[in-house]
Structure 1
Amino acid sequence: MSGNRMTRRPRGKKGPAGGSGGMGRRRLEGKGPTPKAEDRVYHPAHKRKLQAEAERRRAEEARHRTALRAALQLDRGHELIVGRNPVVEAVRSGIPLTRVFMSGALAGDERLGEVVRTATALGAPLVEVSRAELDRMTDGAVHQGVAIDVPPHEYAGLDDLVERAGAGPRAGRAGLIVALDSVTDPHNLGAVLRSASAFGADGVVVPERRSAGVTAAVWKVSAGAAARVPVARVPNLVNALVALKKAGYFAVGLDAGGQARIDGLGFADAPLVLVTGSEGKGLARLTRQTCDVIASIPIDADLESLNAAVATGIALYQIDRLRAAAEPRAAGQAPAVEPRVAADDRS
């Protein structure tokens, strides 16, 4: 029926349909291959990857620490001298050194340049370490980022100290030796070495037992004097005093109850061995009996005693002062006091 005939809408013109104008073109491009699961930050495999990398780093650091500890291991009997001034003084004094440990931050320090040059000349390795490693190596001592590894101290013989008498800058003066009886504090020994160097002593005698030896602590306190003043370590101090007395030395013991004053010795210009005891017990009985004279240092009555190192320093100063003021002893003139040689059974 003509009334029911369907009519079609006329078609539009041919041509491109309306669109975005190419603005959505990137959405149609591919995004490349799919990332691995371990590279997707939200995936559990990524967490496992991070954990594995952290474990590898820890293992590498552990291997490095193990290798470093092996490199830092000290040989038996070796000591560490730490601190800039003690290290520089020790190197200048000619102490043998095996290695130099230094923090990287000190590479440009002018004061340590001499240490580096000396180590290079001696063929001693220069090991760069962290301050934390030096803390562990020195048990928390104040190292200032530098330390040197030195072999055990070479002690002199008693005869070596006698042969040094009258040599060096104080040539012409009688021999002067310091003997320490049961002084166990290394700081006291270091301070005594410093005083001995200052007042021209030929050396220091210490017993092998119940006495401090020359260690890194002694080196540091002595400020290099440990290299300038020889130390003799003897099996028996009384026997050593007897030997020195046979060689012409007078043994002067320091004690608060001494019958003589150290500033009034009439034979200060004769060869002397100054004997100092420990601060608590003082001179041992046999040591006291072996001494020719027991001298005291006049102090205030309220003070019972002086530190061993302080007393030795004062006594050395007084002896040096008396010697400087005394006229040269005439040839063949006998001293005011004859040395008493102890009996052979005092051992």
Structure 2
Amino acid sequence: MEAHEEMIYGLHAVAEAIRAGEPISRLVVGANRRRDPKVAPLLSDAHARGIAVSFESDGAVFRGAPGDRHQHVAAVVRPFAYTPFGEIRARVRAGKSALVVIVDHLEDPHNLGAVMRNAEGAGADAVIMPDRRNASVTAVTRRAAAGAASHLAIARVANVAATLEALKADGCWVAGLSLVPQAIDYRLADYGDKAAIVVGAEGKGLSRLVGERCDLLVRIPLHGQVASLNAASAAAVVLFEVARRRVVKGPFTATPRASEAKTPSNP
């Protein structure tokens, strides 16, 4: 492997990278999986796209994988190609609706990957992150994202607060996830047709400047003993509420329990 290349590990992450047209130079599969029916579609896709395949028997290529979840499948790829922020702005301005996710100094690559996976699943158009004091898109991130990074426009920016101002100028309504008392229930918030959802760092939340740039702050009511959800889980809750609004307009309304419904015998 060349110094500028990196590895994507795991059957699903590699399959998604191939499907998305990632610049894969070589596919590496453990010799013990050469005839594995679960791997066969992957090999077929690789051959169809002209990607070289090698079978490794000593397992050396998999020793650099985080943990033991490589599944004896890896792809050698060039470093991730970020999308210029200007391109994302152009897409936001041109569309009637938009959903953009901004992470505010999220340093754990697994959490970043999980946020990307949730964002893509909710139909987000882009993920934006700072270029310092934040995890980047690496093999670890791609593995946690389960292929989602291959289907998202992902940009790095120098200043998150300034980025939010730019998105607001492009028509986005900016909502930050927060635990502060003035934050409103996320189910009651108006996210607009063009929404930018800001996710803060683990344990720290949104920085002061970023919080001040948000149009509104939203919180997720919890009913157990824990004080908060992790960044990826909180992002998922709010992102899928925004996605729900695209299908069913308006804020959340609870359906009455059957025992509370009015009937002829229970007026």
When normalised by structure 1's length, the TM-score is 0.66
- Give the drift of 1:197: 1.4
CA-to-partner distance for each residue in 1:299-341, whole Å, 9 max, x for gaps?
Answer: 13732221000000001112222332227xxxxxxxxxxxxxx
- Give the drift of 1:123: 4.4
1:125 partner letter: A
Residue identity over aligned pairs, in percent, reads 35
User: SS state of the match for residue 272, structure 1?
Assistant: strand
2:202 partner letter: E
Q: Which has the higher contact order (CA 8 A, sep 6+)?
A: 2
Structure 1 residues 134 and 301, CA, compared in 2 at 3 Å: closer, same or farther?
Answer: same
Matches within 5 A, 1:101-250: 101-138=28-65, 141-165=68-92, 174-250=97-173
Match of 1:314 in 2: 237
Structure 1 residues 308 and 139, CA, compared in 2 at 3 Å: closer, same or farther?
Answer: closer
2:54 partner letter: V
Gaps of 5+ in 2: 251-267
Matches within 5 A, 1:59-78: 73-76=1-4, 78=5
Rounded to whole Å, the distance in 1 between the matches of 2:241 and 2:106 is 21
User: SS state of the match for residue 24, structure 2?
Assistant: coil
- Greater per-residue strand proportion: 2
The answer on 1:290 being equivalent to 2:187 is: no
Comparing 82-91 with 116-125, greater Cα deviation is found at: 116-125
> Which runs of 4 or more aligned residues in structure 1 lie more than 6 Å from their structure 2 counterparts after TM superposition?
none
Rounded to whole Å, the distance in 2 between the matches of 1:323 and 1:201 is 12
The answer on 1:302 being equivalent to 2:225 is: yes
The answer on 1:89 being equivalent to 2:16 is: yes
Match of 2:185 in 1: 261
Comparing 144-153 with 102-111, greater Cα deviation is found at: 102-111
Superposed CA RMSD? 2.3
Structure 1 residues 312 and 131, CA, compared in 2 at 3 Å: closer, same or farther?
Answer: farther
2:237 partner letter: I
Aligned partners of 1:165 and 1:174 also within 8 Å: yes
Comparing 282-291 with 98-107, greater Cα deviation is found at: 98-107
Aligned partners of 1:174 and 1:270 also within 8 Å: yes
Structure 1 residues 141 and 134, CA, compared in 2 at 3 Å: closer, same or farther?
Answer: farther
1:241 partner letter: L
Comparing 251-260 with 147-156, greater Cα deviation is found at: 251-260
Comparing 134-143 with 96-105, greater Cα deviation is found at: 134-143
Matches within 5 A, 1:25-44: none
Gaps of 5+ in 1: 1-72, 328-347
Rounded to whole Å, the distance in 1 between the matches of 2:93 and 2:42 is 32
User: SS state of the match for residue 232, structure 1?
Assistant: strand
2:189 partner letter: L
2:203 pairs with 269, 274, 280, which one?
Answer: 280
1:105 partner letter: N
Aligned partners of 2:109 and 2:141 also within 8 Å: yes
When normalised by structure 2's length, the TM-score is 0.84
User: SS state of the match for residue 279, structure 1?
Assistant: coil
Rounded to whole Å, the distance in 2 between the matches of 1:105 and 1:238 is 50
Aligned partners of 2:92 and 2:170 also within 8 Å: no
